Amino acid sequence: MRKFDTKVQLLKYKVLREVARIAFDEGEFSLANNFNDIAKTVTSDKATMRCCIYKERAIVAERIKLACGGNRANPNIIEVIDIACDECPASGYQVSHDCRGCIAHRCEGACRKGAISFDENQKAHIDKTKCVNCGQCAKVCPYGAISNYTRPCEKACKIKAISMADSEENPAQIDNNKCINCGACSYACPFGAIMDKSFILDAIRMLKDSNGGENYKVYAVVAPSIASQFVYAKLGQVVTAIKKLGFYSVVEAALGADIVAYSESKELAEKGFITSSCCPAFVDYVKKFYPKLTDKISHNLSPMAAIAKYIKETDETAKVIFIGPCTAKKAEIKQEKVAKYVDCVLTFEELQALIDSRDIELTELPEDVLDNASYYGRIFARSGGVSEAVGQALKEQNIDFTVDPLPCDGIEECKTALLKASRGILKNNFIEGMACVGGCIGGAGCLTHEARDKNEIDKYGKEALEKSIGDALSQL
């Protein structure tokens, strides 16, 4: 059973696995002496992806740096590997082979910048130094021979945070003032030139220093979208594997979602209109692009932070590591109000690397139990789930308020809703913002990114012993 969608993910995983293996066995400080060994382990003797084996290994070295935490001076979680970003043609309008070399030259007449010229065969060419990408030439071409080419990373970034650096190689560059760390660009790049920083070494250090729980306990808080991951094994086997890594306990972030649903419903009834706060990429998007709506963001912590807060109030010495599909969570824990509760964030990709670095075979493990949240907490993982949970929380608390939600599936739908809200023409009173299409089950840190049916998460939710939010919260 394959674990990943693409060979880019596989390469990233191999690097993470080897970095984790060395950190566990020899200590993280020995990694500097093992860069070449890791590069040789990850690549073959002959070049299979780049022009030569030396470039392949140079790129792997950059991946190792990101696996070890990346550029600490750069606050952004998503970074570009410049030397890996050199195969895409520059974005903009281009003339294809469909150009017939006609004599009408409508494209030339439509261009006001003088960017169109012709060769000896009358085939059109576009001077990129003059072109302003207005698209007028493409509109008048009778053969449709001129089209607007967009690099995959630019196309994936719906908030236009990616542009081309002004250099000979034109590598991608990320505008940190716009980027919301959703990671869509990292999965879209076919060359793996964009990658999220990993804090896998921080997690390993916490696990080792805990000394099997004698010094302090390390709690794994897992996102409910884990139900759609590790499809080659059973969820109970994944829980067992997490504990074999050294975690004291595995807790559902969905229980934090139950906490949030109760308090967020109260806030909604009090204020009359709010936006959700569970998706950090969406929250960041509101703050950066619609700052006037910042006060409308729910003041509640995210489910991750809410349950971590409960854990640390119960066990003051505890360490909490969140495991989920979200790269933006790595940015969220840098916030002052969250940093004191969550110590580290790992993606499902990184969890797979950790498990395999210890040679743990999931399919051979006994099943443990993961059951301490309600159906409504678990469906936070898919689009529309937060809205349903808030509606249920209002009913359970007998709050006389009718929620009129607008679930936004992906950042483009979020943009439309926020634009209407900023103009005062939105009829709904609750915006559920999910930056990733499908919700958390479409996060960049997932093992696979195939289309997910929300029924997968609903099925997982219905397996919960606690059928109401109140039942789940009664455990606390």
For the stretch 227-242, pLDDT in tens is: 888 988 999 999 999 9
b/e code 416-444 from CB counts within 10 Å (16+ = b): ebbeebbeeebebbbbbbbbbbbbbbbbb
Residue 168 confidence (pLDDT): 63
3-state secondary structure of 219: strand
Highest mean pLDDT, choosing among 124-128, 132-136, 326-330:
326-330
Residue 35 confidence (pLDDT): 81
Residue 41 confidence (pLDDT): 84
3-state secondary structure of 347: strand
Q: Which residues pair with 319 in a beta bridge?
A: 218
Report the distance separating Cα 360 and Cα 261, nearest Å.
Answer: 36
Query: Within 13 Å and on the Cβ side, how many CA atoms surround 378?
Result: 26
Cα-Cα-Cα-Cα dihedral sign, residues 324, 325, 330, 336: negative
Residue 247 has pLDDT above 60, yes or no: yes
Residue 452 confidence (pLDDT): 61
Report the distance separating Cα 95 and Cα 440, nearest Å.
Answer: 39
272-302 confidence digits (pLDDT tens): 999 999 999 999 999 999 999 999 999 999 9
As a whole-number percent, the residues of the chain with pLDDT over 70 amount to: 98
Residue with tokens 């409504």: 376
Cβ within 8 Å of residue 11, ≥6 positions away: 42, 49, 60, 63, 192
Residue 197 confidence (pLDDT): 97
Residue 114 has pLDDT above 80, yes or no: yes
- What is the arithmetic mean of pLDDT over 341-360? 97
Name the band, by pLDDT with cuts 50, 70 and 90, for residue 404. very high
Residue 198 has pLDDT above 70, yes or no: yes
- What is the arithmetic mean of pLDDT over 84-90? 78
Q: Write the DSSP string, 32-92.
A: GGGHHHHHHHHS-SS-SSSSSHHHHHHHHHHHHHHHTT--TT---SEEE-GGG--SSPPSE
Cβ within 8 Å of residue 284, ≥6 positions away: 180, 181, 328, 331
Q: What mean pLDDT, rounded, does the chain reach?
A: 92
Residue 370 has pLDDT above 70, yes or no: yes
Query: Within 13 Å and on the Cβ side, how many CA atoms surround 335?
Result: 14
Residue with tokens 């743990």: 360
Long-range contacts of residues 27-35, Cβ cutoff 8 Å, at least 24 apart: 28/68, 28/201, 28/204, 28/205, 31/64, 31/68, 31/201, 35/61, 35/64
b/e code 279-293 from CB counts within 10 Å (16+ = b): bbbbbbbbeebbeeb
Residue 453 has pLDDT above 70, yes or no: no
Residue 44 has pLDDT above 90, yes or no: no
